[in-house]
Structure 1
């Protein structure tokens, strides 16, 4: 699981490219090495020509992602983990809240991630069956 990053302002294609360069790529190289596949949804900023070109220039393989398929992505249920733990926990400002979120994010047990990946694999099988029949 990658690091969490505090986005200040609007996440447009330029901000997304900045995150890819400064956060995702260094983490992926360190944690995964060469030959890994990157997953993102079909958000317009992910599909912009400059983002696609950035991936091509770096020869990073991207997973072809079916439209309207949130059940194949573990990020939504994964976000629920810190949300549940932080419910009702107050913060004095945005930076303090981000620090709380970051701490909870780093404390998500690997077993939770593994369980979500397994459930995603089952959802993927079911989605493939629906698309093929």
Structure 2
């Protein structure tokens, strides 16, 4: 649900960052958490007669009981997927601060942005991300600059689309145990790294930032197709 205040914040963000071109967005680190489940499934196609959507044979059921889940945190940039790590499914602010300190900074420095260049990081406005100890951590690390993302704006976050691409490639038969589930997610993540002659999906997603922002401006802060 987007309130008028949410729309106002989204529009303000879009107007502020719309002038930024790909040279800026290509150096931004987009990070997020995702919970994968053993009852996830890849992209499905169903040919059926009209008005038969809810017949038993045309429904893909899911089970809550007995399913296996695993929480993961990852980052991506235009150059491709970065680091992906297992987290507690109920991520807390202390654990998140440790992820920023022990995983995000070292991996970003090793793969993309050398010292002393600043690291621009984009993450949503969940309570964990906005906790006091996380805010204090950013104050202690002025080289890490947080882009103040508007609330309820997954359509502006390219890594949300990367998660979606992972789910499309999901094979539930490879996720019978938590160890296998995590290994399966890691394998999909690694397979999405750029290869010669193959589209770099992360670059494509980041290049869409100007279109995403323009869509927010055109709809006055409301919902977009992204």
User: Do these two structures clear the TM 0.5 threshold for a shared fold by scoring above it?
Assistant: yes
Counterparts in 2 of 1:71 and 1:91: CA distance versus 1, 3 Å: closer
Larger helix percent: 1
**Aligned twin of 1:28:** 108
Q: 2:161, 2:108 → 1: CA distance?
A: 22
Structure 1 stretches of at least 4 aligned residues deviating more than 4 Å after TM superposition = none
CA RMSD of the aligned region, Å? 1.7
1:31-70 to structure 2, matched below 5 A, reads: 31=111, 32-33=113-114, 34-59=117-142, 60-70=144-154
- In the TM superposition, residue 119 of structure 1 has moved relative to its aligned partner by 2.3
The structural deviation recorded for 1:108 is 1.0
2:207 counterpart residue number: 118
CA–CA distance in 1 between the matches of 2:123 and 2:217?
A: 18
Change (3 A) 1:66 1:91: closer
Aligned length: 131
State whether residues 81 and 108 of structure 1, in contact with CA within 8 Å, keep that contact through their aligned partners in structure 2: no
CA contact (8 A) 1:38 1:61 kept: yes
Quick one: higher RCO (CA 8 Å, sep 6+), 1 or 2?
A: 2
After TM superposition, give the deviation of residue 109 of structure 1 in Å: 4.5
**Structure 1 residues 9 and 65: CA distance shift in structure 2, 3 A:** closer
Matched, 1:5 2:85: yes
- Kindly report which structure 2 residues correspond to 1:90-129, keeping only aligned pairs within 5 A, or say none: 90-110=174-194, 111-129=200-218
Q: Is the 8 A contact 1:71 1:120 kept in 2?
A: no
Kindly state the Cα deviation for residue 121 of structure 1 after the two structures are TM-superposed: 2.5
For residues 124 and 108 of structure 2, the distance between their equivalents in structure 1, rounded to whole angstroms, comes to 18
Q: Distance in 1 between matches of 2:205 and 2:173?
A: 25
2:168 to 58, 80, 84: 84
Unmatched 5+ stretches in structure 2:
1-75, 77-81, 195-199, 222-226
Distance 1:95 1:64, change over 3 A: same
Q: CA deviation at 1:43?
A: 0.5
Asked if residue 14 in structure 1 is aligned to residue 98 in structure 2, the reply is: no
